[in-house]
């Protein structure tokens, strides 16, 4: 492991020494590709040499969505979990009070949301320091990350944490690169650019691909992409997670400073100790999770508005709704009656492909 870490350190120092210009872009692209390969080996080492004997922090997934708290030690993650979910997570005035994942669950707008209080991350966590890799591995399974920061400490902490998570293949508040990439058996590298590229050209793309021993591929760049975007697409193990930055301990700063903090994007100032601004936080959490609530209506009865079926924004068809209820329903499905904003008439008869909107009411009719 140390050899991989030494190689990573050597490449990072070489990248820091190299000037950025047109002449060195191919060399930097090659170094970035080598770095990404080494990082991947660090995350999932080659060869199946038995377990390391260290228990992971994984917790059984419950509820409709999962939110992880990530941050340095002693920024108020455990206090926040205790006050939001009513779960006891040990709180003390020293660092690393929380040593394993502490789960909690809240019900918000009818959806059950699992909150995970993860142990504190330190600088160098992505390289395995302070059991940071197990912590970040749990963060990869979350639908949303709450990055808890202390507003008295500099915003450099935000940069450090982002760097640690990015080194582990997590991309925060980003969309997957709009790059088409397909390997093939023969025909060489075929690069199509739909817009003028400022960084990538055929030589640089070939250099990066040759590092991965890929000599035949079709690549279409649909926007002005960077070499990092291309490496992310080739690696294929990147996870794109929305993130909200929580600036905790706002009870210790002035109103003027608070006004400045409010201008930071994706950011919510809170005080976990005094329960300040929790409603703002939960509202933004709901917006970032992009969940859709569907109410069920048994025949001849009023809709059940207390326990909605919660779907994710990308999968909201009637078929997804049926599968969420039970796998056998989709096979016996005849048609559905829908009330709500996704249909023109109230009610409207729809098929299994119909896409539902938030707070629609659905009644399913099965084949006899």
pLDDT at 337: 92
Tell me the percentage of the chain whose pLDDT exceeds 70.
90
Element housing 8 (H / E): helix 2-17
Angle between helices 156-166 and 132-139 (to 10 degrees): 80
Task: Classify 104 as helix, strand or coil.
Answer: strand
Question: What pLDDT does residue 150 have?
Answer: 83
Return the pLDDT at 45: 59
What pLDDT, in 10s, does the model give residues 161-207?
888 888 878 899 899 889 999 988 988 888 898 988 888 888 888 88
Distance CA 326, CA 78 (A): 36
DSSP code for 251: G
User: Exposure of 347 by Cβ count < 10 A (0-12 exposed, 13-18 middle, 19+ buried)?
Assistant: middle
* 135-155: average pLDDT: 83
Q: Where in the chain is the domain with CATH 3.10.20.30?
A: 290-364
Report helix, strand or coil for 325. Answer: helix
Q: Give strand pairing partners of 268.
A: 246
- Determine which helix (DSSP H) or strand (DSSP E) holds 32, and give its type and residue range: helix 25-43
- Residue 128 binned pLDDT confidence (cut-offs 50, 70, 90): low
pTM of structure: 0.79
Per-residue pLDDT, 141: 86
Task: Lowest mean pLDDT of 52-56, 64-68, 203-207, name the range.
Answer: 52-56
Please answer whether residues 270 and 278 qualify as being in contact, where contact means their C-beta atoms are separated by less than 8 angstroms. Answer: yes
Instruction: Tell me how far apart the alpha carbons of residues 368 and 366 are, in angstroms, rounded to a whole number.
Output: 6
Q: What is the dihedral of CA 349, 355, 360, 366, to 10 degrees?
A: 50
Record: fold of 290-364: Ubiquitin-like (UB roll) (3.10.20)
| pLDDT score for 336 | 92
CA distance 276 to 246: 12
Domain with CATH 3.40.50.300 in the chain: 63-171+237-286
Instruction: Please state, for a pLDDT cut of 90, what percent of the chain lies above it.
Output: 14
- Identify the CA nearest to 139 among candidates 119, 157, 158: 119
Q: Comparing 77-81, 178-182, 344-348, which segment has the lowest mean pLDDT?
A: 77-81
The full DSSP string for 190-239 is EEEESS--SS--HHHHHHHHHHTT--SEEEEE-S---HHHHHHHHH---E
Strands 170-172 and 239-241: parallel
The region of weakest confidence among 71-80, 212-221, 229-238, 325-334 is 71-80
Widest Cα–Cα separation across the chain: 73
Q: What CATH superfamily classification does 63-171+237-286 receive?
A: P-loop containing nucleotide triphosphate hydrolases (3.40.50.300)
């Amino acid at each position: 492991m140390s050899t991989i870490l030494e190689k990573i350190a050597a490449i990072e120092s070489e990248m820091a020494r190299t000037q950025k210009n047109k002449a060195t872009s191919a060399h930097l692209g090659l170094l970035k590709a080598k770095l990404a390969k080494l990082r991947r080996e660090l995350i999932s080492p080659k060869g199946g040499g038995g377990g390391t004997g260290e228990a992971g922090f994984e917790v059984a997934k419950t509820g409709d969505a999962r939110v992880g708290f990530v941050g340095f030690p002693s920024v108020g993650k455990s206090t926040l979990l205790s006050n939001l979910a009513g779960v006891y997570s040990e709180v003390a005035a020293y660092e690393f009070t929380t040593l394993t994942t502490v789960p909690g669950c809240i019900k918000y707008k009818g959806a059950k949301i699992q909150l995970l209080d993860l142990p504190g991350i330190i600088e160098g966590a992505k390289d395995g320091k302070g059991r940071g890799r197990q912590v970040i591995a749990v963060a990869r399974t979350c639908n949303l990350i709450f990055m808890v920061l202390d507003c008295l400490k500099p915003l450099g902490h935000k940069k450090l944490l982002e760097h640690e998570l990015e080194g582990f293949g997590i991309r925060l508040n980003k969309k997957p690169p709009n790059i088409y990439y397909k390997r093939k058996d023969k025909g060489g590298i075929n690069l199509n650019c739909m817009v003028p590229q400022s960084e990538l050209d055929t030589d640089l793309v070939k250099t990066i691909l040759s590092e991965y021993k890929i000599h035949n591929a079709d690549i279409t760049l649909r926007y002005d992409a960077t070499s990092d975007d291309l490496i992310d697409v080739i690696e294929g193990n990147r996870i794109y997670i929305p993130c909200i930055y929580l600036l905790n301990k706002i009870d210790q700063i002035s109103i003027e400073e608070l006004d400045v903090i409010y201008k930071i994007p994706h950011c919510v100032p809170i005080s976990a100790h005094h329960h300040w601004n929790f409603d703002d936080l939960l509202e933004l959490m709901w917006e970032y999770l992009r969940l859709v609530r569907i109410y069920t209506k048994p025949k001849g009865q009023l809709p059940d508005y207390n326990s909605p079926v919660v779907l994710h924004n990308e999968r909201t068809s009637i078929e997804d709704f049926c599968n969420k209820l039970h796998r056998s329903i989709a096979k016996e499905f005849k048609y559905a009656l829908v009330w709500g904003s996704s249909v023109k008439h109230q009610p409207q008869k729809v098929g299994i492909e119909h896409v539902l909107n938030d707070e629609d009411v659905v009644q399913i009719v099965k084949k006899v």
